[in-house]
Amino acid sequence: MTGHTLVVNDVQWSPDGKLLASASDDSTVRLWDARTGQSLRTLTAHRDGVRSVAWSPDGKTLASASLDGTLRLWEPVTGRNVLILNDHANGVFSVAWSPDGTTLAYASGDNITRLLATPGVKLPTPSLAPKTVTAAATAAATGPAPLVARGGSRILNGHSRDAMSVAWSPDGKTLTSSSYDSTVILWDTATEKARRTLSAHANVVWAVAWSPDGKMLASASIDGTVILWDTATWQSLSTLNAKSGDVYGVAWSPDSKLVASAGRDKFVRIWDAQSGQLLRTLGGNSGPIWSVAWSPDGKLLVSASWDNTIRVWDVVNGQTMHSLSTDSGGTDSVAWSPDSQTIAAANLDQTVTLWDATTAKRLRVFEGPAQVNGVAWSPDSQTIAAASDDHTVILWNANTGNALTILTGHTDSVVSVAWSPDGKTLASASRDHTVRLWDVSCQDRLQSQC
């Protein structure tokens, strides 16, 4: 049976002998028809190698243990990730069910074995699945959807592995995408052709970000570095070395003078973009930090972690101004609204949360159909785009909380979204190896045709 792209670490039969589950260093779990050898489903939420899988005795739940520090429980019939535990800092290496199915044992690189009493965890059955927001349901409740994706999407093919991040140049003429294949591709948005491929990183490029003045591009990688590129020559200007492992998030200050990076080591670092000097290290998190974003005035920085906190930092003195408790199992992505008023957070519990940037009060919670991996504001601060694990992109009205539309077309998890500077096009990156461009310019609900 072929399908995994890296070493297979574990394989387990379902209790009825009809299925096989395999765990691989390619960060996926695959379910196979044991009789035909056909791959039935690929489970893709893990972010590092999966070392172990285990079926519950009744065959209704599958557990997977990963080097990303999480233990995940899956519903094999639907492929839904129904529970995430992420309290292991050094990876989870093994998992096993008790014979009566009431307890899970799992062991990690922090030299601790833990027991989870599963009766206390409500594992959903198909009839209890989380509410799925659909465009049809929204139209029935609120009238015609005011935001429509015209003509489907345009597909940009170029990466050989999962596309992980997308970012637009300030002039909107170039789109960049990063990938598990260790490259960054520059796309001409007029021709939708690849202009150039940057391949200086030694491992997965997790994130890319353009400087607001358009003169530099930053790429962050799990090789432990952030590379700053000259966008006129596409030569590397400097390499910022975190010296402490994977870098997941990168962001520019509004004046293009500073770069913030964050990653597995639980710290946010502030760098001088011209000299490459490390200016400040911000600490306090107890889990990996996946995303960072500057406030539009450049005075504050927000970071998202899997330790159930979102932190707002004073960049000048390095102090935490607010620590927002999420109780969501962790946050993957944060974005500051262009009008400076609101912070949006994409959470592991299938929600997007809006926070008042000044008072740190929770304003609104949007419920999605699956884990939300990325979030982005439209330039006018009116619409939020969410990258979802169910292969879709969801657009929400930031003021009312209504789901405006769901963009379908990707065939695997969507992990990143970015709006074009004019707000007319949305880019999405997916684990199906592709980048898609969506026309979202039709916003007048009174138009009968778009």
State if pTM tops 0.85. Answer: no
| Residues in a beta bridge with 193 | 188
Is 404 within the bounds of a domain? yes
* Nearby residues of 223 by Cβ (< 8 Å), 6 or more positions away: 182, 201, 202, 203, 204
Indicate whether 1 belongs to any domain.
Answer: no
pLDDT of residue 201: 96
Instruction: Looking at the structure, tell me whether residues 195 and 119 fall in a common domain.
Output: no
Q: Which of 128, 156, 184 is the last residue of a domain?
A: 128
What pLDDT does residue 113 have? 64
Question: Can you give the residue range of the structural domain that contains 116?
Answer: 8-128
- pLDDT for 307: 86
Using the 3D structure, point to which of 69, 94, 128 is the last residue of a domain. 128
**Predicted pLDDT at 338:** 94
Determine the Cα–Cα distance for residues 103 and 98; give it in Å rounded to an integer.
5
Distance CA 117, CA 217 (A): 47
131: amino acid identity, one letter: K
- The CATH number for 409's domain is 2.130.10.10
Phi, psi for 169 (deg, rounded to 5): -70, 155
CB 228 within 8 A of CB 261: no
Q: Give how far Cα 190 sits from Cα of 92, 274, 345, Å.
A: 45, 31, 31
pLDDT in tens, 221-250: 999 999 999 999 999 999 999 877 899 999
Both 161 and 123 in one domain: the answer is: no
Same structural domain for residues 119 and 151?
A: no
Contacts of 233 (CB under 8 A, 6+ apart): none
Q: How far, in Å, CA of 132 to CA of 135, rounded? A: 10
Residue 141: which H helix or E strand, with range?
helix 135-142
Torsion sign over Cα 8, 306, 175, 354: positive
Burial state string for 295-319 with b = 16 or more CB within 10 A and e = fewer than 16: bbebebbbbbbbbbbbbbbebeebe
Q: What is the DSSP string of 237-306?
A: EEEEE-SSS-EEEEEE-TTSSEEEEEETTS-EEEEETTT--EEEEE---SS-EEEEEE-TTSSEEEEEET
Closest CA to 25 of 83, 80, 87, 68: 68
Q: What parts of the chain have a pLDDT lower than 50?
A: 119-151, 443-450
Place of tokens 């600490």: 283
408 within domain boundaries: yes
CB neighbour list of residue 340: distance below 8 Å, 6 or more residues apart: 295, 296, 297, 357
Q: Is residue 182 one of the residues assigned to a domain?
A: yes
**Domain end: 73, 105, 128, which one?**
128
Which of helix, strand or coil describes residue 119?
helix
> Does 314 lie in the same domain as 294?
yes
204 and 235 in a single domain? The answer is: yes
- Decide if 46 is inside a domain: yes
Per-residue pLDDT at 126 = 28
Q: Position 286: which residue type?
A: S
Give the 3-state secondary structure of residue 373. strand
- Within a 13 Å sphere around the CA of 85, how many CA atoms are in the beta-carbon half? 22
Q: Around Cβ 273, how many Cβ atoms within 10 Å? A: 21
Task: State the pLDDT at residue 111.
Answer: 61
Residues 233 and 376 both lie in one domain:
yes
**Is 301 inside any structural domain?**
yes
The answer on 415 and 272 residing in a single domain is yes
Report the C-alpha gap between 438 and 423 in whole angstroms: 11
H/E stretch holding 80 reads strand 80-85
Residues 57 and 189 in one domain: no
Say if residues 280 and 268 touch (Cβ distance below 8 Å).
no
- Both 108 and 155 in one domain: the answer is no
For the segment 50-76, what is each residue's pLDDT rounded down to a tens digit? 999 999 999 999 999 998 888 888 988
- Is residue 342 located within the same domain as residue 422? yes
For 298, phi then psi, to 5°, come to 80, 5
pLDDT of residue 381: 94
